[in-house]
Amino acid sequence: MNDMNDTGPSRLNNAGGEFLWNFWYPALRSEQVYGRKLTRAMLLEAPLALGRDAAGKPFALRDVCPHRAFPLSFGQFDGATVECAYHGWRFDAHTGQCKHIPSLTADSKLKCERIYAGSYRCAERDGYIWVFMANTEGREAAGASISAALPEVPTFSARYKMAHLWAELPCNVDHGIIGLMDPAHGPFVHQAWWWRSRRSIREKAKQYEPIANGFRMSPHAPSANSAPYKILKLITGEPATTTIDFVLPNVRIEQIRAGRYWLSSRTTVTPIRRDLCRLDFCAAWNILPWFPVVSLIIHVLGPRFIRQDTEVIEKQALGLKYQERMMLVDDADRPARWYFELKAACLESQRTGMPMEHPVSGPVTLRWRS
């Protein structure tokens, strides 16, 4: 798929942002879906209408009426069925099955129960409504069992706090994701006097290992030149270790443990359209729950970081209009290369039905300066 070798930079022009189907994606935050309201969303260019049934359980229908394509989200919802606002056809909110066609006469031969609006498997977790995207039509094979797990935020105690941040990124999913795992932009994009400067660049060596559908930066002591870790050490009095996983299709999970204290986060870059993604950051922690210091750090540093990343993506889009090719340079861009290799292997395995061939064969140390 590309000319990769371990010496020179590899040139890729395959960052086309192809969608990975058969995975869970976060569609909306829980609080955006309430009452009898139908809320519009989009995932992988599929239009969705989300709502909650009378018991509060979320559902996701394809926002296109099978009759004449009127968006179902303009319709009425009674807690069980959605009524299309054009000709009043009614559909079961969870299965999409047509329950009623008002124009039919008593002797009509049409079996309305054979008509379905597209519908998607739906789950609520960590403050998000997640949708399983098997395909764009919202037609999962009957009785299909799904292997992809919903990527929950890891928690290590019964009580903890949680915070959410998000932003739209005007790029395709590939650029969003490799931006997320890129260690070399930190000192240039995220510099601030209280955080770090370019002068703080130093050589790093990190151990990586393959995990199912992804790779892990093995547990290590966090960089000594980053402020949150210094703060963490100050609060907990314990040395911290951190583990960072990337898992297909779009998930980065970071776990920081310091004695009985922990802080974990999940960042996803979700394709909305070819040219638009949404970054969702969800953090959980048990450090001083009665004193909002972590919450404060997350709500002050988090938006600033995300804004810096968003600005970089916006500016990069200006150049990508003229040149889609890019160079991936070892070792700093190796995780990005792995991402492309993992994605290609996943698409290949979906195409052939054969088990996925993992591109990372064993533990490997990457070295870069950042």
Residue 130 interacts, among Fe ion, ligand FES, none and using kind-specific CB cut-offs from 5 to 8 Å, with none
- Please, what sign has the CA dihedral across residues 180, 184, 185, 187? positive
By the rule CB under 5 A, 126 interacts with Fe ion: no
**The one segment of 108-116, 226-234, 301-309, 362-370 that binds Fe ion by CB under 5 A:** 301-309
Residue 309 interacts, among Fe ion, ligand FES, none and using kind-specific CB cut-offs from 5 to 8 Å, with Fe ion
Residues between 309 and 338 with contacts to Fe ion, criterion CB under 5 A: 309
DSSP string covering 156-211: -SS--EEEEEEEEESS-HHHHHHHHT-GGGHHHHS-BTTTB-GGG--EEEEEEEEE
Count of alpha carbons within 13 angstroms of residue 156, beta-carbon side: 15
Pick between residue 48 and residue 248 the one whose CB is nearest to ligand FES: 48
**The one segment of 191-199, 223-231, 307-315, 358-366 that binds Fe ion by CB under 5 A:** 307-315
Kindly state the number of chain residues that form the binding site for Fe ion, as judged by CB under 5 A. Answer: 1
Query: At closest approach, how far in Å is the CB of 358 from Fe ion?
Result: 26
Query: At closest approach, how far in Å is the CB of 53 from Fe ion?
Result: 39
Residue 84 interacts, among ligand FES, Fe ion, none and using kind-specific CB cut-offs from 5 to 8 Å, with ligand FES
12 phi, psi to nearest 5 deg? -120, 140
Pick between residue 35 and residue 102 the one whose CB is nearest to ligand FES: 102
Q: How many helices (H) and strands (E) does the chain have?
A: 5, 20
Beta bridge partners of 263: 256, 285
Query: At closest approach, how far in Å is the CB of 67 from ligand FES?
Result: 3
Place of tokens 């979700």: 270
Pick between residue 90 and residue 252 the one whose CB is nearest to ligand FES: 90
Q: Residues 144, 109: contact at Cβ < 8 Å?
A: no
Which amino acid is residue 245, in one-letter code? D
Q: Residues 172, 275: contact at Cβ < 8 Å?
A: yes
Q: Which two tokens stand for residue 52?
A: 């909650």
- DSSP assignment letter at 222: P
- DSSP assignment letter at 42: E
Query: At closest approach, how far in Å is the CB of 72 from ligand FES?
Result: 7
Chain-centroid distance, C-alpha 237: 33
Query: At closest approach, how far in Å is the CB of 91 from ligand FES?
Result: 9
Residues between 33 and 92 with contacts to Fe ion, criterion CB under 5 A: none
Residues between 60 and 99 with contacts to ligand FES, criterion CB under 6 A: 65, 67-68, 70, 84, 86-87, 89
Query: At closest approach, how far in Å is the CB of 304 from Fe ion?
Result: 11
Residues between 222 and 281 with contacts to ligand FES, criterion CB under 6 A: none
Which bin fits 296, alpha (ψ -120 to 50), beta or left (φ > 0)? Answer: alpha
Residue numbers at the binding site for ligand FES (CB under 6 A)? 65, 67-68, 70, 84, 86-87, 89
Residue numbers at the binding site for Fe ion (CB under 5 A)? 309
